[in-house]
Amino acid sequence: MALSFLIWLPLLFGICAWLSEKKYSGLGNWITLISLIGLLIFTLYLGNSGSSSLSWQWFARFNIHFALLFDGLSLLLISLTIALAILAVLVSWNDIEKHRGFFHFNLMFSVAGIIGVFLAADLFLFFLFWEVMLLPMTALILIWGHEGRRYAAFKFFIFTQVSSLLMLIAIIALALYHQNQTGQLSFNLGELQQLVIPDTMQFWLMLGFFIAFAVKLPMVPFHSWLPDAHTQAPTAGSVLLAGILLKTGAYGLIRIVLPLFPSATMEFAPVAVTLGVVSIIYGALMAYSQTDFKRLVAYSSISHMGFVLLALFSWNEVALQGAILTIVAHGISSAALFSMAGMIQHRIHSRELGNMGGMWKSAPKMATVTLIFVMAGIGMPGMANFNGELFTLLGSYQQFPVQTIVASLGIIGSAIYGLHLFQRAFQGPPNVDVVDLHMRELVFTSILVAALIYFGLQPHIVLELSSDTIGSLMQTARELRP
């Protein structure tokens, strides 16, 4: 019961914020902020009492249940979601000029949808949340985005929606296969895991899910929605998109594709890993050639998510740990860079690196913080991203040595584009005068810095939370790969 509050409460508070913003301007910010902090505490409290689950009868004709499962991995990702939503509220505190109440409603609505994805234990429910979280996100891009928002919103919506239709077919086929075998339709993840699926069928089903998740991740060649959506979205939207939405793809792979279709996954792994490596290199190259701050960070996301793909399909313990570390670390660091981009854009009304330059002189604090974020992004030891990349490369080298060697070039690439970004924006002759960070901005950027360093030095917290999931995945792997 308490578990479902995680989904209802954000919606409820979102409506509250919408209504109260109409009465008193500015109140919406506070309501959203306080309720999100409350939700974070509530989540941690729930997580403290171990994993829990819930299942209600929902659509009996198809044996569909409203089933939620809350374990370590869910706890980790939900906390990350709420924390980044708090960041999104803080960073757009004064940014949103029109329809502020509706903005908060959409923000909370998407948080509710994302939390739903991380909780769902029934594939029908999973699909429902998967689609529903798109709507508010599209609205965020469409209404509060930048100049090319209409096109970006279209592209974002249609890419994800079309790919998820394939997933819907796969879900239905899977449930019908369950009916074939046991006489009863089932959409329950746990029950479906018991199925033994013939290889060809497993392959096609896996492909349906894989494409949906690969588009979200995104993986080259399904990535082209991402640079547009990230660039055109308002800062809060970019933070949520890069920090969380991309991770739902990785989460889907961990929760559904690997456990349900293990042998098909292993067979498909060389292809997926190669595509992951292509994403890493392609993302890094494209990032280097960008002149738009946000676009650059967007392409770097493609590169980083390539590591996750590489790690997941290598499927050994170290690599899986690397994937989860990267998910968390990239969530924080890319959200941090996008919020920096937002702050700069708020000041100079441009995202072009050509219009920046020499900002260190007028805004030293901002420059220092950005430097730390960039360093985290390129994987400096001691910061969270380093652990993720190291584990990923270590783990996948045992399975796919060639691909891993090529992938490690991506780290060099990331150093090049990262430093390039920093140099063009903050060093060189002063081009623009900007106001340095305010108190509010200083507070949340320093929290982000602290988080990056903390997870860099204490990765075991993340690993402990996800150990159950990884353990059971390894169990499956050992059965198939003696």
Partner 1 sequence: MSIQELWLLLPVLIISAGILALMLQASWKRSCYLAQGICLVTLFLALAALINNYPTDLKTITILFEYEPIGGFFSLLLLMVGISVALLQGPYMGANSKEVAEEFYLLLLLSCLGAMLLVMSRHIGSVILSIELMSLSMLAILAYNRERKLALEGAMKYLLLSGAATSVLLMGFALLYASSGQMMLVDMLQSPMGLMAKSGFVLVLAGLAFKLSLVPLHFWTPDVYQGAPVNSTLLLTTLSKAAVFALFIKLILLVPTDFEADMVRMLSWMAIASMLLGNWLALQQQSLKRLMAYSAIAHMGYVLVAGVIAMGIDHSLVLEGVSYYLLAYLVASILIFAVLTLLSRLDDQQDLEELPQLQGLFWQHPWLATIMTIAFLSLAGMPITIGFIGKFYLLTLAVKLSAWWLVTTMLVGSAVGLYYYLRVIFTLFAPAKSDMPQAQAAYLSKIWIGLIAASLLLLGILPGLLGDQLRSILSIG
Residues in contact with partner 1 by CB under 8 A are: 57-62, 64, 99, 127-128, 131-132, 135, 139, 142-143, 150, 153-154, 157-158, 161-162, 165-166, 168-169, 172-173, 176
Dihedral sign for Cα atoms in the order 356, 334, 90, 137 = positive
Give 208 or 276: the residue with its C-beta nearer to partner 1.
Answer: 208
Smallest separation (angstroms) from partner 1 to the CB of 274:
27
Half-sphere exposure of 245 (CA within 13 A, CB side): 34
* Amino acid, res. 288: Y
CA 88 to chain centre: 14
Give 112 or 284: the residue with its C-beta nearer to partner 1.
Answer: 112
Smallest separation (angstroms) from partner 1 to the CB of 168:
7
Burial call 428-463: b when 16+ CB within 10 Å, e when fewer: eeebbebeebeeebeebbebbbebbeebbeebeebb
How many other C-beta atoms can be found within 10 angstroms of the C-beta atom of residue 480?
11
Q: Which long-range contacts (CB under 8 A, 24 or more apart) does 195-203 make?
A: 195/260, 197/261, 199/263, 199/264, 199/267, 201/173, 201/177, 202/261, 202/263, 202/264, 203/261, 203/264, 203/267, 203/268
Give 47 or 208: the residue with its C-beta nearer to partner 1.
Answer: 208
Fill in the DSSP letter of residue 97. Answer: -
Give 150 or 481: the residue with its C-beta nearer to partner 1.
Answer: 150
In the numeric block, the tokens 């929605």 are attached to 225
Smallest separation (angstroms) from partner 1 to the CB of 185:
9
Half-sphere exposure of 297 (CA within 13 A, CB side): 34
Question: Is the bond preceding 482 in cis, omega lying within 30 degrees of 0?
Answer: no
Smallest separation (angstroms) from partner 1 to the CB of 155:
11
Q: How far are the Cα atoms of 174, 314, 407, 481 from residue 263, in angstroms, in the given order?
A: 16, 13, 24, 9
Smallest separation (angstroms) from partner 1 to the CB of 256:
17
Smallest separation (angstroms) from partner 1 to the CB of 172:
5
d(CA 133, CA 115): 9
Smallest separation (angstroms) from partner 1 to the CB of 14:
15
Give 166 or 394: the residue with its C-beta nearer to partner 1.
Answer: 166
Give 119 or 258: the residue with its C-beta nearer to partner 1.
Answer: 119
Smallest separation (angstroms) from partner 1 to the CB of 100:
13
Give 162 or 405: the residue with its C-beta nearer to partner 1.
Answer: 162
Give 53 or 57: the residue with its C-beta nearer to partner 1.
Answer: 57
Token couple for 357: 């330059």
Smallest separation (angstroms) from partner 1 to the CB of 60:
5
Give 96 or 153: the residue with its C-beta nearer to partner 1.
Answer: 153
**Helix or strand run (H / E) with residue 68:** strand 64-70
